[in-house]
Chains A and B, each alone.
Chain A
């Protein structure tokens, strides 16, 4: 039964974090599979083995954030306390604040006068704090910043990132291309037109489109958008250049993508989607981390034998019958998970996999993160 599974290449967490050429690890996967936990556990283990690591988390569960000392959401990497630094490593952590990140980009690239104008724009305020989709652009921006700082100052030699919890998690890969298509497109010319020249210079097509947009958005919104785009105009180029650069870094062998899943059909379907998507983009995939895998009990008793025994013992010993049922359920779960993993491995035979056994309790402190780290390396 396990023959095919044994042939699956193994993802060794220690080899991954021990490789000095690997400088960025990106964890992606469906929501609720333990992505942030995996990122935090890898970062902690790397730090305790001597890497100077920083964990960038996008949307962590509150308790986990607390376990890493992230009570403040100030968009700055902070040292995690309680880390064993005897091997010469260190661990910083930060939570992405998309509004702060956006504000900082504006502040550092626009004149003070223009900065004030942009930050006060109602359109900018909604965009930077409330709109889904901004997160992907800002995750890319922040990653680029951390990477640049790591190169300049030598403060870090490993950046571990987790991604937003949805299928759109990989949308940040598209961010440079999307920005480019917008900036090179004709729409931006329309949006910038009134700011740059008299309307009569517009082509017929353009005035048709401007008319339609005005009709849909109303004149006031269009004017606000135009003011906003004109103010941001000088920033767009820089955005694109940095996003392009980060995209190239992600494609480079110094980056390792880790797809995270749990052993159920839905999460593995999402994992397959991520694996294929990364392959399409020619992104370097290190492998799959499978969290919360059920381990077979030590007894070696089959599910069938346990069920049969439980049925016969109902009268003589209720507790034994109940224990056998528990065992039978667990053994059944082990079998189903194996079948799912075999199916995934058959479709993606080259994907190295690391399995992390299910823990009895939830992970929310450094001690339990270390336990997860041990399992990732085993």
Chain B
């Protein structure tokens, strides 16, 4: 198993995807904190208009403006941005074209509205474009005029991206654009974005739980991303429950061969009503649990077989709070994801 990239080396853009319900936003938040160690500054972006970051970090809904939402160790900082397509388009036009009166006319003629709500594809172009701009900011070489010194530059950007099923199309949209625009500014922009996304500066992490469908989507996703020359970083296995049962007890539970007499005696000792229905009820729950654990282990094996680096994050029963995010960040660092 070779790590997809040595910790932190050269990666500036971390794209986090995953099937719905697997905790993609949570993991993206934890990754941002992990990256914001040792005084580094990190930007965490969301693109689906759900305000998932605000509710995760327990702050007011984010405007289209980069705001500091958390701190890392030694003065590290996490900034967040909820990317709004209309604002991103206006900003882009302003940055590149200084259209003046014509810019206002575009709005009056419904061009802005058309681009951001009616026309398919444009949204993804704008969202990836903004992420590109934030990632490249302050870097040597081609940088965008206009915003060069106005906003902070970042050591790393974490993108809470669309779900696994949509990620190949989302990240590859600029290839399509470059295919349409043979010359001109749009083509240059699209080509630059794709070269960042396909470079060693970008990795895509896939979040999954140990259920069959999310794991299948993850494995499909790895293949599809590879086919597009996009780099897969780590597989982040989330919502993993600890089993308190020993291997032997787990097997016995699954086979319905637990020593019910021992359990009954033990329960009575601590004053828990231990009639047969209670004992059998506990044994049934243990069987369900054992079946689930075995299913999860089989799924884990499928992920291991992919050869990608894997980090395991625990299920948190009461919902994630800020403290859990920092604990997750430590796990991600210890696992060498960043």
- Interface set, chain B 202-247, CB cutoff 8 A to A: 211-214, 216-217, 220, 244-246
Q: How far is the CA of A312 from the CA of B269 in the complex (A)?
A: 9
Cβ 8 A contact of A62, one of B114, B186, B220: B220
Q: How many residues of B contact A (CB 8 A)?
A: 89
- Interface set, chain A 151-200, CB cutoff 8 A to B: 165-167, 174, 178-179, 181-182, 185-187, 190
- Interface set, chain A 198-255, CB cutoff 8 A to B: 205-206, 208-209, 211-213, 215-221, 224
B244 partner residues in chain A, CB cutoff 8 A: 321-322, 325-326
Cβ 8 A contact of B266, one of A166, A179, A316, A325: A316
Q: How far is the CA of A270 from the CA of B50 in the complex (A)?
A: 9
Chain B minimum-CB-distance residue to A36:
B213
Q: Are A216 and B105 in contact (CB under 8 A)?
A: no
Q: Does A378 contact B (CB under 8 A)?
A: no
Chain B minimum-CB-distance residue to A180:
B118
Q: Does A100 contact B (CB under 8 A)?
A: no
B270 partner residues in chain A, CB cutoff 8 A: 308-309, 312-313
A159 to chain B, nearest CB (A): 23
B185 partner residues in chain A, CB cutoff 8 A: 216, 218
A221 partner residues in chain B, CB cutoff 8 A: 180-181, 184, 186
Q: Does B119 contact A (CB under 8 A)?
A: yes
Q: Does B2 contact A (CB under 8 A)?
A: no
Q: Does B323 contact A (CB under 8 A)?
A: no
B187 partner residues in chain A, CB cutoff 8 A: 218
B52 partner residues in chain A, CB cutoff 8 A: 266
Of the candidate stretches B96-104, B138-146, B193-201, the one touching chain A is B96-104
B113 partner residues in chain A, CB cutoff 8 A: 181
Cβ 8 A contact of A220, one of B105, B184, B271: B184
Secondary structure call for the B interface: helix
Q: A31-B163, A262-B21, A309-B270 are contacts. A318–B246 as well, Cβ < 8 Å?
A: yes
Secondary structure call for the A interface: helix
B263 partner residues in chain A, CB cutoff 8 A: 317, 319-320, 323
- Interface set, chain B 162-191, CB cutoff 8 A to A: 162-163, 165-166, 169-170, 172-173, 176-177, 179-187
Of the candidate stretches A45-53, A327-335, A344-352, the one touching chain B is A327-335
Cβ 8 A contact of A319, one of B118, B176, B258: B258
Q: Does A133 contact B (CB under 8 A)?
A: yes
Q: Are A218 and B184 in contact (CB under 8 A)?
A: yes
Q: Are B165 and A131 in contact (CB under 8 A)?
A: no
Q: How many residues of A contact B (CB 8 A)?
A: 85
Q: Are A61 and B176 in contact (CB under 8 A)?
A: no
Q: Does A305 contact B (CB under 8 A)?
A: yes
Interface 1/0 per residue, A36-56 and B, CB below 8 Å: 000000000000000000000
Q: Are B97 and A297 in contact (CB under 8 A)?
A: no
Q: Does B283 contact A (CB under 8 A)?
A: yes
Q: Does A298 contact B (CB under 8 A)?
A: yes
Of the candidate stretches B63-71, B76-84, B284-292, the one touching chain A is B284-292
Given contacts A178-B117, A301-B282, A327-B282, 6 further A-B contacts (CB under 8 A): A63-B212, A130-B173, A165-B20, A186-B109, A217-B181, A309-B272
B residues in contact (CB < 8 Å) with A: 19-22, 48-50, 52, 55, 93, 96-97, 99, 101-103, 105-106, 108-111, 113-114, 117-121, 123-124, 162-163, 165-166, 169-170, 172-173, 176-177, 179-187, 211-214, 216-217, 220, 244-246, 249, 258-259, 262-263, 265-267, 269-272, 277-278, 280-286, 288-289, 291-292, 295, 317-319
In the assembled complex, 29 residue pairs joining A and B whose CB atoms fall closer than 8 Å, in A order, are A31-B19, A32-B19, A32-B22, A61-B216, A62-B216, A130-B172, A131-B169, A166-B48, A167-B49, A179-B118, A186-B110, A187-B114, A208-B101, A209-B106, A212-B102, A212-B106, A216-B185, A218-B183, A305-B272, A306-B272, A308-B270, A313-B266, A320-B263, A323-B258, A326-B244, A333-B317, A336-B317, A360-B292, A362-B212
